[in-house]
């Protein structure tokens, strides 16, 4: 499909769109531009490209056009959308020195991007950015810096200077590093996920095998002092978490031992937000009998209605569909496929839920699988489209 090929628009009622958006998990909502009913474009963040690329998107056929540079920016490896405005945020995961969070005004008809500013995260390697559900604060996890940055957002979505910081270096609130010396030499923060009630931020600490839970006050201001810490298995390397739509279960993917665990999420006046690991819930992301050598689990996606979870593993380049037990939250593998590329970073469902996209950083491609929302199954004949070292995607 070339740049000049026509994109066919899906017809969805406004009522249906708004209802679907409300049911959408926060992580998925933050990939869709505010005010866009039927995305006609994908925006791709890149590792070795010049910035953010724009390509035509056909939601009926799952075709991606030829990417073209939308805006230059340094190594945009993760995206989040403002929940109320057409503003895109990118984590600039610089290879050296402090990284940054950049904001871009999005023209929703053409997916053109206009820079709104760039603010330092006061730490190296920001690999994740998120926005709370009121659009008041943004959060960036600094992998290299072992720190979390919390930014206030202005009324137009601009990122305020001087973020509030929580850093593990020399901080008694943090713990000891994990046993995998090559990857757990110090704290490495890898995500910052806002809870469904907008009262907590959950942060995976890969280097110290922990999930840190930070409270937000009633005004949404993040007091980044001492988080509540929940230990993971030694050497597991927690990477990302997602909430189930019922708000009771939290799923955590562990990069180093290639597993997914299920936690019960509880909130009380006395204890605040707490996580309790559900015994017997652990599942492997690698194939049965496979070695962990050369394999690292990566991304976790929850379906809208909470019936399915999707996880990918780099190395063996696999993508697994798990069915969620509606009573226990436990996972059962129901399908395993190849991603169609190498070093698959982010995976994402499109807003129509007809397609699942894989960002193949290593092979410079995007794989598009057809997706059955009722069964969770992926199509047997995915299509692969060229893109320069894609890391993340947003729909506009």
pLDDT at position 56 over 70: yes
The span from the CA of 49 to the CA of 51, in Å, is 6
pLDDT at position 2 over 70: no
Best CA proximity match to 62, nearest among 361, 354, 320: 354
pLDDT digits (tens, 9 = 90+) for 264-287: 999 999 999 999 999 999 999 999
Best CA proximity match to 54, nearest among 14, 125, 107: 107
- pTM reported for the whole predicted model: 0.92
pLDDT at position 30 over 80: no
* Interval 231-253 mean pLDDT: 99
What strand order describes the sheet that includes 355-360?
A: 344-349, 355-360, 365-370, 383-386
pLDDT at position 16 over 80: no
8 Å CB contact between 302 and 244: yes
3-state secondary structure at position 85: coil
**For residue 367, what pLDDT band results from cuts at 50, 70 and 90?**
very high
Best CA proximity match to 91, nearest among 108, 106, 78: 78
* Interval 237-254 mean pLDDT: 99
pLDDT at position 23 over 60: no
Q: Hey, what are 203's tokens?
A: 């942060």
Query: Domain limits of the chain?
Result: 14-395
CA separation (Å) from 285 to 144, 184, 298, 336? Answer: 25, 21, 10, 9
pLDDT digits (tens, 9 = 90+) for 65-77: 999 999 999 999 9
15-29, 105-119, 205-219: least confidently modelled range: 15-29
Out of 1.10.3720.10, 3.40.50.1000, 3.40.50.620, 2.130.10.10, the CATH code matching 14-395 is 2.130.10.10
Four-residue CA torsion sign, 268, 274, 280, 285: positive
* Interval 155-163 mean pLDDT: 96
**For residue 14, what pLDDT band results from cuts at 50, 70 and 90?**
very low
pLDDT digits (tens, 9 = 90+) for 94-115: 888 999 999 999 998 999 999 9
Report the percent of the chain where pLDDT is more than 70: 90
pLDDT digits (tens, 9 = 90+) for 286-324: 999 999 999 999 999 999 999 999 999 999 999 999 999
């Amino acid at each position: 499909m070339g740049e000049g090929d026509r994109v066919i628009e899906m017809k969805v009622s406004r009522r249906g769109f708004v209802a679907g958006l409300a049911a959408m998990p926060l992580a998925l909502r933050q990939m869709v531009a505010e005010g866009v009913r039927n995305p006609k474009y994908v925006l791709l963040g890149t590792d070795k490209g010049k910035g953010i690329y724009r390509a035509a998107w056909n939601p009926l056929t799952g075709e991606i056009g030829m990417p073209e540079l939308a805006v230059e920016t340094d190594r945009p490896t993760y995206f989040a959308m403002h929940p109320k405005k057409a503003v895109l945020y990118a984590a600039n995961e610089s290879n050296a020195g402090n990284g940054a969070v950049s904001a871009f005004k999005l023209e929703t008809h053409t997916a053109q991007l206009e820079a709104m500013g760039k603010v330092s995260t006061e730490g190296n390697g920001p690999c994740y950015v998120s926005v709370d559900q009121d659009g008041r604060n943004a959060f960036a996890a600094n992998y290299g810096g072992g720190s979390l940055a919390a930014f206030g957002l202005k009324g137009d979505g601009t990122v305020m200077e001087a973020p509030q910081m929580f850093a593990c270096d020399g901080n008694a609130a943090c713990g000891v590093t994990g046993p995998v010396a090559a990857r757990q030499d110090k704290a490495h923060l890898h995500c910052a996920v806002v809870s469904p009630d907008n009262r907590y931020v959950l942060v995976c600490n890969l280097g110290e095998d922990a999930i840190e839970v930070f409270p937000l006050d009633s005004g949404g201001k993040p007091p980044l002092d001492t988080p509540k810490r929940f230990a993971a298995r030694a050497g597991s390397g927690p990477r990302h978490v997602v909430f189930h739509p019922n708000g009771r279960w939290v799923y955590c993917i562990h990069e180093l031992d290639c597993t997914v665990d299920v936690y019960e999420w509880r909130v009380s006046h006395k204890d605040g937000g707490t996580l309790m690991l559900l015994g017997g819930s652990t599942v492997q992301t690698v194939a049965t009998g496979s070695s962990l050598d050369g394999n690292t689990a990566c991304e976790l996606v929850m379906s809208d209605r909470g019936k399915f979870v999707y996880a990918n593993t780099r190395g063996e380049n696999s993508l697994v569909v798990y069915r969620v037990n509606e009573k226990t939250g436990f996972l059962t593998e129901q399908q395993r496929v190849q991603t169609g590329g190498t070093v698959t970073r982010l995976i994402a469902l499109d807003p129509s839920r007809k397609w699942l996209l894989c960002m193949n950083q290593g092979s410079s491609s995007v794989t598009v699988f057809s997706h059955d929302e009722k069964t969770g199954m992926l199509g047997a004949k995915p299509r692969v489209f060229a893109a320069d070292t894609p890391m993340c995607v947003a729909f506009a």
